[in-house]
Amino acid sequence: MYKRDTRFSMVFPALLAAVLFVPFVMNFLAHAWYGEKHFPPLTMMKLPADSSVISLPQEIKQYKPFEITLQLNTRELARRINDIVKKSHPGTELQGIRSEVFPEMRARIAGDAFSIDPPEPQVQFFSGQGEMSRWSWIITPEKTGRHHLSIELHLQTAETTREHPQVADLAEIQLFVRENPEAWMRTHGIWYALFTLLAAGWWWKKRLIKKRKAANEQ
């Protein structure tokens, strides 16, 4: 009987480790094989501007902040939009823009699966490179998988006011957020460690009791 208890006491830690960590390892490997092979961030422009005006990293991980910057010649963009508006027929306007657009713009990023800093529309800052304006945001992905971010421009037109601008979508960014094991361990690892310590303490106490019983029987 004592030998069986000894074998069980040797096997129990391995079983405990398997129960705790095998599901996590399988989930991590599944994302490693399938998640990481998904596309890099893809930018689709919805106004007449090149996608190169938006800078973002090629790899995105959950809970790892990254920066998105937008450098835009607002005067040139306003000129292009106004050219399209002049040639448009009623009902075919570009995102509902019907009057002259001015170079003064604000920008905002929106996305449901992200923490965005700052979240509100930002005024433009000149970057020092000619007439280029610059905006930047710090984005923290909160969920893994496929998601998208939208960049909005708050335009000033001949028919709007500063309090009620014309909101137009500049771009949509499609991206895939990878698993982040390090961040996951920082967030959830303490609970696994606590449970492991409690289980190990229970096992050790039970083992000592069995040893004492076996010694008394001898």
Q: Are 134 and 155 in contact (CB under 8 A)?
A: no
**Is 156 in the same domain as 204?**
no
**Is 175 in the same domain as 186?**
no
For residue range 19-60, what is the model confidence (pLDDT) as tens digits?
Answer: 555 555 555 555 555 545 567 889 999 999 999 999 999 889
Number of domains forming the structure of the chain? 2
**Is 163 in the same domain as 75?**
yes
* Burial category of 5 from C-beta neighbours within 10 Å (exposed 0-12, middle 13-18, buried 19 and up): middle
**Is 71 in the same domain as 174?**
yes
**Is 63 in the same domain as 102?**
yes
What's the confidence (pLDDT) of residue 205? Answer: 73
**Is 164 in the same domain as 201?**
no
* Structure confidence at residue 213 as a pLDDT band (50, 70, 90): confident
Its domain, for residue 11, covers 2-33+182-217
For residue range 84-111, what is the model confidence (pLDDT) as tens digits?
Answer: 999 988 888 899 999 999 999 999 999 9
Residue with tokens 């991590």: 28
In sign, the C-alpha dihedral spanning 198, 200, 204, 207 is positive
Cα separation, 63 vs 69, whole angstroms: 19
**Is 136 in the same domain as 60?**
yes
Total-model pTM: 0.69
Q: Are 170 and 47 in contact (CB under 8 A)?
A: yes
Burial string for 149-168 (b: 16+ CB within 10 Å, else e) reads bebbbbbbbeebeeeebbeb
Cα separation, 141 vs 18, whole angstroms: 30
**Is 55 in the same domain as 136?**
yes
What's the confidence (pLDDT) of residue 189? Answer: 61
**Is 78 in the same domain as 168?**
yes
**Is 142 in the same domain as 74?**
yes
Query: Which residue, among 215, 218, 211, 198, has the nearest Cα to 8 in the 3D structure?
Result: 211
**Is 211 in the same domain as 195?**
yes
**Is 47 in the same domain as 117?**
yes
Give me the CATH number covering residue 138: 2.60.40.10
